[in-house]
Each structure stands twice: as structure tokens, then as C-alpha cells.
Amino acid sequence: MSSAESDLYQEVVLEHKRAPRNFGHLPHPTHQAQGTNPSCGDRVAVELLLDGQRVQDIRFSGQGCAICMASSSMMTEAVKGRDIAAAQALQRHFRAVLTGEEDPDEAPLGKLVSLAGVRQYPSRIKCALLGWHALMHAIAGQQDAGGTEESLS
């Protein structure tokens, strides 16, 4: 990682950790799921208000490390108001970048690219993916996303 990339990564992560977006609960969520990352102690719950195929509103709650919280916060910004298909595509690209299957310079990640530096730290990849993991389970209608183990194997 270049020092510039490192600085950006730090700044964005710390800013979202300090002021997470869409943090809390929805009054009437249509879909929800939670996930845990035992290796770090992260716990994240995602609540959705789906309007047909569109993510009308989203909230997340829980506790975790800075990367987990920042990634979940950025996720809510990235998918709010978008179609489920777009959210699923973004999750696939984000995961592929973090696991080294896709080049971050070529993946359509938008602002999420500032988290691409996490791929340098294999033990933190689960932290960055936990919120997304819970989101995918919420969309699929599965309440308990469980651990993140199976998604990375």
C-alpha cells in the first residue's frame, strides 16, 4: 500500500467509525439479519425496508472494530435507494477485491475502494465483509447470518 492509499484508508475508516451512517433501527423493517465474526468479536445486525426490488431504507447496529463499523456504514450508504441486484453485484465485487480475485483499480466499487487496502491484512477481511454478509442474508430472508467462515472458504 502506498502512503497516500494508507492515509486515505485511515481517514475514511476513522471518519465512518466516529460517525457511522444509518446506524440504529428501522421502525418497521421488512427484512433483517445479523452476523458475528468470532475471531474479532464483531457483531452486526442489518435491518432493511425493501420496496419491491429496491432498498428503500437500511440501518445497521452492533459493535465491532473500526474496519467492521466503517465498512458497514459505507455499505449502507452504497446500497440505500438502489436495487437489490445492484447491492448484490457490489457485494460480489467488494468481496472479490478483498480476497484478491479482482483488481481494485478495475472493480466498480465507487467509494468502497477506500477499503480495498484491507486486502493486505487477511485477518481483517472478515471484519470488512461482515456487514455485507448480514445484508445478503437479510435480502435472502435468513435471520441469522451466523459466522463469516463459510463465505470465505
Residues engaged in binding Zn ion (CB under 5 A): 40, 42, 65, 68, 127
- Report whether 9 contacts 98 (CB < 8 A): no
CB of 85 to Zn ion, least distance (A): 28
CB of 17 to Zn ion, least distance (A): 11
Name residue, grid cell 468481496. Answer: 95
Residue closer to Zn ion (CB basis): 62 or 104: 62
Residue closer to Zn ion (CB basis): 57 or 117: 117
131: Cβ contacts below 8 Å, ≥ 6 apart = 35, 44, 46, 60, 68, 71, 72, 75, 76
CB of 112 to Zn ion, least distance (A): 17
Residue closer to Zn ion (CB basis): 36 or 91: 36
111: Cβ contacts below 8 Å, ≥ 6 apart = 12, 74, 77, 78
